Amino acid sequence: MKVAILRFPGTNCEFDTQYAFEKLNHTTELIWHENKALPADIDLVVVPGGFSYGDYLRSGSIARFSPIMKAVKNYANKGGKVLGICNGFQVLTEAGLLPGALKRNNNLHFISKYQNLCVVNSNNAFLNNCEDGEVLNIPIAHADGNYYIDNDGLKEIEANGQILLRYSNEKGEPVVVNGSVTSIAGICNKSKNVFGLMPHPERALESILGSKDGIKMLKGFES
Amino acid sequence: MTAVINVFLKEGVLDPQGKAAHHALDSLGFDGVSDVRIGKQIIIQLDTNDQSKAEAEAKEMCETLLANTVIEDYTIEIS
């Protein structure tokens, strides 16, 4: 698999993301945001975490207008797979590739810790190496992770199986972490080729560092 | 012309910063505060002298970039 990893000014998780996919024996390429095109032969685009454009105005609001984002939109609209992690999730919601928006955490704090997540729907190209109801332990690190969608939108994403992950306890029961609507931690678009999550799977690759659930998650793209 | 744009979270969307400031005002003894909402103000100098053109431009700027209409409302004052 060949993975394109985007870089904006302020992105800071691109090398961790690259390390994760290379550990899975994939080839990766870092793509600077001023590029107008994606490489022709890629299988996945990752919008990694960080603080693109210093989170000015709103997280992800300026990055979505970078030249490369036009190519990412075209790629996604043609069915290409796109994964947004943390700030990448914010960029994808701002770009309209994913529904809803990410607000400031309810407690106004930057939350950085390991967090249990319950897999809500594994029937997709991202989580198919996991099982429904499985609990994963993956770090979160964000100030704007409070997922919001209006009631009609929520009903729609629920009905379409677009809710992928919820913040949970170790039994898989939802818990309030940042104020997200129904504890949502990750979603996908209706056609299930664009994925976004606040947790950082690329930071959970080795048991010695706390968890290797992230690599299990990212392996899903292989099948 | 000058466009003064105010961007706020929509009614019904919880405003955590407003809530925190509300609590702080309560604990400082400011009674009678029923709601606090915190937004941002963006002031833009426009080259045009045409009021309706300025309004239209400012509106487009809000819809495109300055507000996220999924969660935010905005007001525009042109002077």
DSSP assignment, residue A66?
S
Q: Does B71 touch chain A (CB under 8 A)?
A: yes
Establish whether A13 is a catalytic residue.
no
Architecture of A2-222 per CATH? 3-Layer(aba) Sandwich (3.40)
DSSP H helices, chain A, are 14-23, 67-77, 87-94, 151-159, 213-219
- Where is B74: in which H helix or E strand? strand B72-78
Quick check: B16 and A107 CB within 8 A? yes
Of A134, A164, A133, the residue nearest A147 (C-alpha): A164
Nearest-CA residue of chain A relative to B12? A150
Cα–Cα distance measured from residue B6 to residue A152, given in angstroms and rounded to the nearest whole number: 27
Establish whether A188 is a catalytic residue.
no
Check if the beta carbon of residue B39 is closer than 8 Å to that of residue B9.
yes
Q: What domains appear along chain B, each with residue ranges and CATH number?
A: 2-78 (3.30.1280.10)
pLDDT per residue, tens digit, chain B (79 aa), is: 999 999 999 998 999 999 999 999 999 999 999 999 999 999 999 999 999 999 999 999 999 999 999 999 999 999 9
Walk along chain A (223 residues) in steps of 10 and give the mean pLDDT of each run.
97 98 97 97 97 95 96 98 98 98 96 98 96 98 97 97 98 97 98 98 95 96 83
Q: Both ends of chain B: CA-CA distance in Å?
A: 6
Owner of token pair 């000015």: A56
Establish whether A86 is a catalytic residue.
yes
User: Which chain B positions have a beta carbon within 8 Å of A100's beta carbon?
Assistant: 70
Quick check: B13 and A61 CB within 8 A? no
Which of B14, B16, B68 lies closest to A61 in CB terms? B68
Structure token digits, residue A32: 């600077």
